[in-house]
A and B are shown apart, each in its own frame.
Chain A
Amino acid sequence: MAVDLSMPVLVVDDYKTMIRIIRNLLKQLGFHNVDDAADGTEALTMLKGKKYGLVISDWNMEPMTGYELLKEVRSDEAMKPTPFIMITAESKTENVIAAKKAGVNNYIVKPFNAATLKTKISAVLGDF
């Protein structure tokens, strides 16, 4: 099934620059319906009010981390199916394992490039 490039995508990061980078990369990949949040709490509120086709989140944020956001999403029946990709500088094995255990769909280590982002989105949503 073809990926709906008009679906809403939520980017969560506490660094505006990183949000800008991911937004531009997503734009290059064809995604134009992109929202952003500065931390897990803000993202959770947005996720409760709108159905997103993909969440791309950083890990290390205050007051709610991406890891906590992931667990909240996976524990809520309505949000549970939302594809969730973690993009983070947290690159210890324990982080990846914990994220996988919590139900992350894919995991990208910063710094990353456009090709990696496309590959991981494809792995989660299908080819586009």
Chain B
Amino acid sequence: MGAPEPSIESSLENVSGQIREMKSHTLGLPDILKLADVMVVSMRGFFGQLDASIYKELTDVSSFINNARSEIGRLQPGNLKEKHFPEAGKELEAITQSTEAATNTIMEQAELIMSADPEDMEAYHATVQGAVMEIFEACSFQDITGQRISKVVSTLVHIEDKIGSLADALGSAIEEGPAEEETDEDRRKRELILNGPALEGEGIDQSDVDELMGGGSSQDDIDALFD
């Protein structure tokens, strides 16, 4: 192992010492060359340290990029786009179709019962029995729908896991981006108060609505809420 490289301060001190020892009016080419030699020797260590520092920074950056690439690769964006998202979309479409078909069947049978003539008891009984059986059969959609929903939920969990891994890998490099700008659709939803169905426990029930619609709140109270 060689001697430790001199610090930048001691190197500069060395050079300035050399200059002080020289008498400017007697300086010749050998003196200049000697001074240059001293400067080169003195600064070699400094530039050596600088190289090592930059090299370490670049190595860290390279390692970070490799790690990020690896995590993004594990995310399998192509797989998500080509497989997971389309499959989840198809499942949701199938759910909509099956619930609609089941609802139509149930309603048709209920309407059949409603319109059946109770005067003819035998025919009425047969109609009701047949319709009830159809309704039972139609209700089987719930089992298949439940399985389809489970598949969609699995896809969402899969995506959540992948994105979580990516966020962990990138760590502090991730900064929250600026708040998204409100789109026309967002603005319409806000202005027309389009919240959609509330989850269990989040919305208000009919009794709360009745309280608001009844004498519980005067127009002044309501107006005050908008001020």
The interface of chain A, by Cβ under 8 A from chain B, is: 17, 20-21, 24, 27-28, 59-60, 65, 67-68, 89-98, 100-101, 106-110, 112, 116
User: With A24-B111, A108-B206 given, is the CB distance from A100 to B213 under 8 Å?
Assistant: yes
Q: Would you call B222 and A97 a contact (CB within 8 A)?
A: yes
Chain B min CB distance to A9 (Å): 18
Task: Count contacts between A and B, CB distance < 8 Å.
Answer: 78
Contacts of B192 in A (CB 8 A): 65, 67-68
Q: Can you list 22 A-B pairs with a CB-CB distance of less than 8 A?
A: A17-B100, A24-B107, A27-B114, A59-B194, A60-B196, A68-B192, A90-B193, A90-B195, A90-B196, A91-B209, A92-B193, A92-B195, A92-B198, A92-B203, A92-B204, A95-B193, A95-B195, A96-B212, A101-B222, A107-B209, A108-B206, A109-B205
Q: Would you call B206 and A112 a contact (CB within 8 A)?
A: yes
Q: Would you call B100 and A93 a contact (CB within 8 A)?
A: no
Q: Answer whether residue B9 sits at the interface, using C-beta atoms and an 8 A cutoff.
A: no
Q: Would you call B204 and A67 a contact (CB within 8 A)?
A: no
Q: Name B's interface SS.
A: helix
Q: Which of B107, B205, B219 contacts A91 (CB 8 A)?
A: B205
Within 8 A of A (CB), among B182-221: 192-198, 203-206, 208-209, 212-213, 217, 219
Chain B min CB distance to A93 (Å): 6
Q: Answer whether residue B103 sits at the interface, using C-beta atoms and an 8 A cutoff.
A: yes
For the complex of A and B, list the 4 residue pairs with the smallest distance between their C-beta atoms, beginning with the closest. Answer: A91-B203, A89-B197, A96-B212, A91-B198
Contacts of A60 in B (CB 8 A): 194, 196
Q: Answer whether residue B135 sits at the interface, using C-beta atoms and an 8 A cutoff.
A: no
Q: On chain B, which size bracket covers the interface?
A: 20 to 34
A100-B213, A109-B203, A110-B197 are known contacts; what are 17 more A-B pairs with Cβ within 8 Å? A17-B100, A17-B103, A24-B107, A24-B114, A28-B114, A59-B194, A65-B194, A68-B192, A90-B194, A90-B196, A91-B209, A92-B203, A93-B204, A100-B217, A101-B223, A109-B205, A116-B206
The interface of chain B, by Cβ under 8 A from chain A, is: 100, 103-104, 107, 110-111, 114, 192-198, 203-206, 208-209, 212-213, 217, 219, 222-223, 225-226
Chain A min CB distance to B131 (Å): 14
User: With A17-B103, A24-B111, A101-B226 given, is the CB distance from A96 to B209 under 8 Å?
Assistant: yes
Chain A min CB distance to B227 (Å): 12
Chain A min CB distance to B214 (Å): 9
Cα A93 to Cα B217 in complex, Å, equals: 12
Cα A3 to Cα B217 in complex, Å, equals: 28
